[in-house]
C-alpha cells in the first residue's frame, strides 16, 4: 500500500502511536551509537514552496542518518514555477525517487500530488496542516510529561495549520485539547467539528486565554502571522496581544507546565524572551525531535509499517 502522510486524521490511533513509538526507539538507538541503514539505496525529493530551516534540515539529516539520499528542489526553481501541472510533476518525480516531501500553500496541492504519485507524499506543512510537526510535539510531550490522555493540553493563539493538526491529533489519539483563539481566527470549522464528534475526550474552543491555560500541563503557542499572511501581520499584532504567552499568563498554568513552540519564534509577540528561554520551555527538545520523528515517518512510509 502507498502510505501518504497528508493529515493526521487519515491514520488510526494505532498507526500514530506506531510513529511515536518507533521514533523513540530510533532516537535511543542513535544516542547509543547505532548506525541505521533502513533507507540505504532510497532517495527522497523535497519540494518546497515556502521557507524552512528545521523541517528541511531535519528531514535531510533523518534521511542521511538512515542511509538514504535527498534531492532538494525549491518549487519556484522547478518547472512547477512555470506552470507545469502537478499531475505531471507527481508522475515524473515518482519515477526517480522513493518519496516526496512537500511544503506548499494549499492542502489540495499535496492531495493532488498524492493522487498522481506512485510513491508516498509527506506533508511538510500546508496552510491547513503541519502533521509531522505535531507528531514531534507529541513525542516531546510524552518524553517530558507522559501519556497525553492524562494531561491538560492547551493551544493559545491563532487557529492555524498547527492548531488544526493538534485538533486532529487529539481526536485520533484520544486526548483532550483546550484552545483559546480570538474571534475571527478560529481553527478550520470542518476539522474542529469532525474532531469534536470523533474524539474520546473534549476538544474545546474558548476565547479567554487565561481560562484556557488554567492548570494546563502543556502550553502550545505559534506565530500570529503564518507564512503567506505577511500582509496581515500588523493587524494581527493588535488582535493577538491578549494572547501573548508571558510570565503573567503562564502563571495560571500548572507549576511544572511545559511550553511548546514549533519555532521560528517572534520574541515579544506570541511569546516573551523570558518564557521562551525560561525553565518551562522545551522548544529546542521539540526541534530535535523533528529529526527523530521524521526518521520514523520516512521508514514507515517508504518501507511500510512493521
Ligand atoms: N517548525 C518548523 O516547521 O520550522 P521550519 O519552518 O524552520 O521548517
Ligand atoms: N504556523 C506557522 C508554522 C511555521 C513552522 C506557519 O505556517 O508559518
Specify the CATH number for the domain of residue 220: 3.40.50.1370
β partners of residue 178? 154, 204
Task: Report the atom number in ligand 2 closest to the C-alpha of 162.
Answer: 1
Ligand 2 pocket, Cβ-based, cut-off 6 angstroms: 125, 130, 160-162, 222-223, 226-227, 262
Domain count, the chain: 2
pLDDT value for 2: 63
* Ligand 1 contact via 55 beta carbon (within 6 Å): yes
Ligand nearest to the CA of 56: 1
Residues 254 and 138 in one domain: yes
User: Mean of the per-residue pLDDT values for the chain?
Assistant: 97
The pTM assigned to this predicted structure is 0.98
Q: Quick check: 200 pLDDT over 90?
A: yes
SS3 content of the chain, % helix, strand, coil (to 5): 50, 15, 35
Q: Quick check: 6 pLDDT over 90?
A: yes
Residues 74 and 117 in one domain: yes
* Ligand 1 contact via 54 beta carbon (within 6 Å): yes
Closest CA to 43 of 112, 125, 119, 123: 119
* Ligand 1 contact via 204 beta carbon (within 6 Å): no
Task: Report the atom number in ligand 2 closest to the C-alpha of 160.
Answer: 1
pLDDT value for 306: 60
Residues 140 and 282 in one domain: yes
pLDDT in tens, 13-35: 999 999 999 999 999 999 999 99
Q: Quick check: 153 pLDDT over 90?
A: yes
Closest CA to 40 of 23, 65, 71: 65
**1 lies in some domain:** no
Residues 103 and 171 in one domain: no
* Ligand 1 contact via 293 beta carbon (within 6 Å): no
pLDDT value for 305: 73
Task: Report the atom number in ligand 1 closest to the C-alpha of 50.
Answer: 6
Residues 148 and 166 in one domain: yes
pLDDT in tens, 156-184: 999 999 999 999 999 999 999 999 999 99
* Ligand 1 contact via 52 beta carbon (within 6 Å): yes
Closest CA to 159 of 129, 136, 139: 129
What is the 3 state secondary structure string of 269-283?
Answer: CCECHHHHCCCCECH
Ligand nearest to the CA of 229: 2
For the CA atoms of 146, 147, 150, 152, the dihedral, rounded to the nearest 10 degrees, stands at 70
User: What's the domain range around 126?
Assistant: 8-130+290-303
pLDDT in tens, 78-131: 999 999 999 999 999 999 999 999 999 999 999 999 999 999 999 999 999 999
Average pLDDT over residues 234-256: 98
Q: Quick check: 251 pLDDT over 80?
A: yes
pLDDT above 70 covers a percentage of the chain that reads 99
Give the Å distance between the CA of 293 and the centre of ligand 1. Answer: 14
pLDDT value for 250: 98
**183 lies in some domain:** yes
Q: Does residue 172 sit in helix, strand or coil?
A: helix
Give the Å distance between the CA of 227 and the centre of ligand 2. Answer: 6
Give the Å distance between the CA of 41 and the centre of ligand 1. Answer: 27
pLDDT above 90 covers a percentage of the chain that reads 98
Indicate the DSSP class of residue 33.
T
Give the Å distance between the CA of 187 and the centre of ligand 2. Answer: 14
Residues 126 and 147 in one domain: no
Closest CA to 283 of 240, 225, 220: 220
Amino acid at each position: 500500500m502507498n502510505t501518504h502522510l497528508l493529515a493526521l486524521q487519515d491514520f488510526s490511533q494505532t498507526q500514530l502511536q506506531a510513529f511515536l513509538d518507533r521514533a523513540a526507539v530510533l532516537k535511543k538507538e542513535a544516542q547509543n551509537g547505532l548506525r541505521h541503514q533502513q533507507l540505504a539505496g532510497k532517495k527522497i525529493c523535497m519540494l518546497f514552496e515556502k521557507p524552512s530551516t528545521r523541517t528541511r534540515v531535519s528531514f535531510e539529516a533523518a534521511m542521511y542518518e538512515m542511509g538514504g539520499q535527498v534531492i532538494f528542489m525549491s518549487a519556484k526553481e522547478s518547472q512547477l514555477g512555470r506552470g507545469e501541472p502537478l499531475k505531471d510533476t507527481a508522475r515524473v518525480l515518482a519515477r526517480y525517487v522513493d518519496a516526496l516531501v512537500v511544503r506548499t500553500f494549499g492542502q489540495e496541492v499535496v492531495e493532488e500530488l498524492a493522487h498522481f504519485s506512485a510513491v508516498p507524499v509527506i506533508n511538510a506543512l500546508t496552510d491547513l496542516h503541519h502533521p509531522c510537526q505535531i507528531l514531534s510535539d507529541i513525542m516531546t510531550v510524552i518524553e517530558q510529561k507522559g501519556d497525553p490522555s492524562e494531561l491538560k493540553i492547551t493551544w493559545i493563539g491563532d487557529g492555524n495549520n498547527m492548531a488544526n493538526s493538534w485538533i486532529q491529533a487529539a481526536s485520533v489519539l484520544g486526548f483532550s485539547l483546550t484552545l483559546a483563539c480570538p474571534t475571527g481566527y478560529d481553527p478550520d470549522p470542518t476539522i474542529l467539528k469532525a474532531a469534536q464528534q470523533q474524539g474520546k475526550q473534549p476538544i474545546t474552543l474558548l476565547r479567554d486565554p487565561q481560562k484556557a491555560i488554567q492548570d494546563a500541563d502543556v502550553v502550545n503557542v505559534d506565530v500570529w502571522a503564518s507564512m503567506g499572511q505577511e500582509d496581515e501581520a500588523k493587524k494581527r499584532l493588535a488582535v493577538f496581544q491578549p494572547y501573548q504567552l508571558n510570565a503573567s499568563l503562564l502563571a495560571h498554568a500548572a507549576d511544572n507546565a511545559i511550553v511548546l513552540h514549533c519555532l521560528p519564534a517572534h520574541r515579544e509577540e506570541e511569546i516573551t524572551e523570558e518564557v521562551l528561554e525560561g525553565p518551562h520551555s522545551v522548544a529546542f527538545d521539540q526541534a530535535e525531535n523533528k529529526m527523530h520523528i521524521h526518521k520514523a515517518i520516512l521508514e514507515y512510509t517508504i518501507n511500510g509499517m512493521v
